[in-house]
């Protein structure tokens, strides 16, 4: 959610950002400018009326002190109070209307976000590692995993339906090993506090992080209980401080959690239908930061580096992409994607998105901090995958595969495997 005053004072900033995103609507522009004009006019009228009323009140006081008749002066301000009340009611309606519009608006893009029309316009920031050169035709992770009987997609479908899966033996152990590697790295080296959070959250939580109302079709909901299965631990972690005021001296607060994540994958039919790339339930380690307004850009870069450190430990080749204006999420102001190389699929695949939301989520969730000057300011929130575990497992299998259909275990994982 955006700053209403900022929108009304400079609607062109929002219009520019919407056009850059490809989300511009003439109706939105008209409504915002109409409300801005009307509010300015009403506030000025109310201010003039209050000034007139105050002036007359002083005159009445003087006349009374002098024992003079106040009838004529009193009649001159009759109805002023009623008109002021009418204006206040009208302003309240305008603000409610603007709030309804505002809650559906995307975040204002950071000025460094490149303009683009699709993921093809994302900008390469850097690459890391050497893409393996196999002397044989590399296989996809699902073919390797099924042949080794460590993945069972067929029974996953039997249990739950399409895009569900099961692990067996080494597959299950490697998922757990990757989880432990990620948590140990982020808590032991990268400065995050580990947390354990619910995977069912209320509508207030989903609204604060931006899933509601716009993306209600993208997640699973338990209507009877008014609860929602989390699409990512971003939701409970960010809402941990909802409606609270933090101390600036405690910032940044860096937390992480391992959770299952649930996504309907609406609109993705026909894409990545096999394997672990696009499924309805998966495990992920999520990173979340609460920062001051001044430090969020620096902390964003650090979080990106923290997510990269896992791939570097596993010696998996990857690239970092700065998302363009059309490919970035609605709630984010700036996002980097980390894409790992998948030799079996013969392409890079997104394994982490690291985003700076600035005060967009904090305004929805009323998450503030008291500055050194004693002012209550909105925090900036950041989050990133650190990493998606299933996709990391798929990347390990494909990059470490051998010609005989097996694969090697990365050195960083060996101590976590019995």
Q: Is residue 280 marked as binding?
A: yes
- The reply to whether 15 sits in an annotated binding site is no
List all residues 6 or more positions away from 215 whose beta carbon is below 8 Å from its beta carbon: 330
Residues in the chain: 418
Angle at 113 between CA 332 and CA 330, to 5 degrees: 25
Region of 239 please: left (phi>0), alpha (psi -120 to 50) or beta: alpha
CA distance 289 to 82: 49
281 is in an annotated binding site: yes
265 among annotated binding-site residues:
yes
Question: Does the annotation place 395 within a ligand binding site?
Answer: no
- Alpha-carbon distance of 312 to 335, in angstroms, equals 20
Sheet holding 376-378, edge to edge: 245-247, 368-370, 376-378
**Secondary structure of residue 102 in the 3-state scheme:** helix
Q: Is 253 annotated as a binding residue?
A: no
Task: Give the C-alpha separation, 30 to 95, whole Å.
Answer: 16
**Cα–Cα distance for residue pair 192/301, rounded to 1 Å:** 15
Residue 127 annotated in ligand binding: no
Tell me whether residue 153 is annotated as binding.
no
Question: Known binder of ligand: residue 383?
Answer: yes
Which residues neighbour 19 within 8 Å (Cβ) at sequence distance 6 or greater? none
Given a contact cutoff of 8 angstroms between Cβ atoms, the answer to whether 133 and 336 are in contact is no
Per the annotation, does 233 bind a ligand? yes
For 227, the enclosing helix (H) or strand (E) is strand 227-229
Task: Judge whether 352 is annotated as a binding position.
Answer: yes
Known binding site: residues?
232-234, 263-265, 279-282, 286, 350-353, 383, 385
Known binding site for ATP: residues?
263-265, 279-282, 350-353
Known binding site for L-serine: residues?
232-234, 263, 286, 383, 385
């Amino acid at each position: 959610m955006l700053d209403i005053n900022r929108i009304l004072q400079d609607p062109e900033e929002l219009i520019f950002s919407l056009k850059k995103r490809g989300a511009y609507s003439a109706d939105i522009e008209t409504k915002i400018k109409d409300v801005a004009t009307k509010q300015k006019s009403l506030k000025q009228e109310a201010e003039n009326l209050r000034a007139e009323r105050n002036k007359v009140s002083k005159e009445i006081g003087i006349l009374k002190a002098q024992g003079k008749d106040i009838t004529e002066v009193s009649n001159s301000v009759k109805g002023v109070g009623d008109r002021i009340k009418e204006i206040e009611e009208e302003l309240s309606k305008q603000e409610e209307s603007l709030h309804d519009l505002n809650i559906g608006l995307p975040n204002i893009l950071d000025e460094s976000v490149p303009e683009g029309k699709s993921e093809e316009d994302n900008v390469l920031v850097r690459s890391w590692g050497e893409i393996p050169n196999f002397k044989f035709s590399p296989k996809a992770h699902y073919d390797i995993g099924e042949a080794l009987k460590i993945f069972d997609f067929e029974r996953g479908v039997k249990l739950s339906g399409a895009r569900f899966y099961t692990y067996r033996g080494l597959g299950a152990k490697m998922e757990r090993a990757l989880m432990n590697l990620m948590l140990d790295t982020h808590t032991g080296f990268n400065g995050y506090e580990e947390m354990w959070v619910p995977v069912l959250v209320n509508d207030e939580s989903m609204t604060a992080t931006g899933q509601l109302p716009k993306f209600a079709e993208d997640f699973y909901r338990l209507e009877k209980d008014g609860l929602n299965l989390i699409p990512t631990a971003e939701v409970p972690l960010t809402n941990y401080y909802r409606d609270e005021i933090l101390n600036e001296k405690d910032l940044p607060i860096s937390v992480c959690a391992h959770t299952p994540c649930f996504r309907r994958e609406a609109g993705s039919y026909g894409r990545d239908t096999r394997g672990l790339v696009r499924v309805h339930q998966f495990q992920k380690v999520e990173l979340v930061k609460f920062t001051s307004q001044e430090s969020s850009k620096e902390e964003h870069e650090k979080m990106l580096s923290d997510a990269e450190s896992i791939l570097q430990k596993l010696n998996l080749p990857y690239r970092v992409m700065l998302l363009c204006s059309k490919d970035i999420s609605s709630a984010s102001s700036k996002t980097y994607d980390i894409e790992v190389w998948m030799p079996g699929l013969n392409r890079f695949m997104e394994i982490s998105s690291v985003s700076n939301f600035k005060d967009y989520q904090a305004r929805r969730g009323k998450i503030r901090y008291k500055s050194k000057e004693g002012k209550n300011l909105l925090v900036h929130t950041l989050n990133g995958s650190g990493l998606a575990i299933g996709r990391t497992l798929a990347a390990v299998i494909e990059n470490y595969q051998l010609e005989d259909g097996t694969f090697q275990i990365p050195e960083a994982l060996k101590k976590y495997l019995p």
